Structure 1
Amino acid sequence: MRQLILIVSLLAAASAQAQNMKPGLWEVRQQPQLDPKRQAQMEKAQQQMAAMPAEQRKMMEEMMAKRGVSMDFGGGGGVITVKMCVSEEQAKRNEPPVAGRANCTHDVQRSGDQIHTKFSCTDPVSEGTSDVTLRSGGDGFIAKTHISHTRDGKTDSIDATSEARWLGADCGGLKPMGAK
């Protein structure tokens, strides 16, 4: 589950980098294209989450909410819906909502509504690219992201398509991800 949260965080960060962020609640629907082994792991994690006793599932959801993430595996077909809160401060800096990813560097090139980002992280070791197309008004975007990450000496790649939309200024009980 920890690896799943990490992957979601990296995908969201790569997709959201340098867009005209609005403060408030964002929803990102991600469709990772996984190899059969990873797809089976994702489905198993979804089944485990669904089969948890209500109290244990609530604890897991609260742990993720403290990191600024709520997830819905109900989309089927491997779609993950993540809700994230972007603070006023993050929006002013056009800072993507990332949990503890100060160990990453980003090279961002923007032309009109197109953003190309190359990123590299040291812990965990990962790198990738993201191509984002912004919607007019800054209330959403679509992105294609590629991430390669190394764990225990083995390198894996993940590709994902994401679509994000701004839901509103009120985050409810969700705290901004990575807020200081």
Structure 2
Amino acid sequence: MSTALALAGCAGSNALQPNALTSTQEEAIAAASSNPAGRQTASLAAAANPRLAIPPAIGAPDSANAPLNARLVARAQELGIPLTPAASADGLTMKGYFSAISEGPQTTVIYVWDVIDGQGNRLTRIQGQERGARTSGDGWTSVGPELMQRIADQTIDAYASWLLARAG
């Protein structure tokens, strides 16, 4: 199944509004943003590191979004990426689109992140898929928090690499 077909169903009843942050997300982003400048890695600090808003992923239920969002914030904080709870004209927004497919003993989560600027222009796309054991049920009911945390790490690492490449 192609990624485009798999993502076609991402805006179903479990989809979250792209700009709706939970109070937990806002608190985590505020904590990450208040990190002392000394904690930023020198290379990322030199990369013209704009503030990044990460709305909840579309297509993933709360049970998958919670560990994903918590790890996105934690990994961004580890790398010194400044976060903001809302999109801004001078910052970037990373919008995620997710789908989960169970086949045999495995469940595959397909993800696409579009990094957009304040004017809505897509600057880059981060995409991939991660497989995990099918634990119970189909689709999202079979996706554990550790799989979503791996996706979060891969996503923030790819974003940081893109920032460094963009900085030249």
Q: TM-score, normalised by structure 1?
A: 0.27
More strand by share: 1
More helix by share: 2
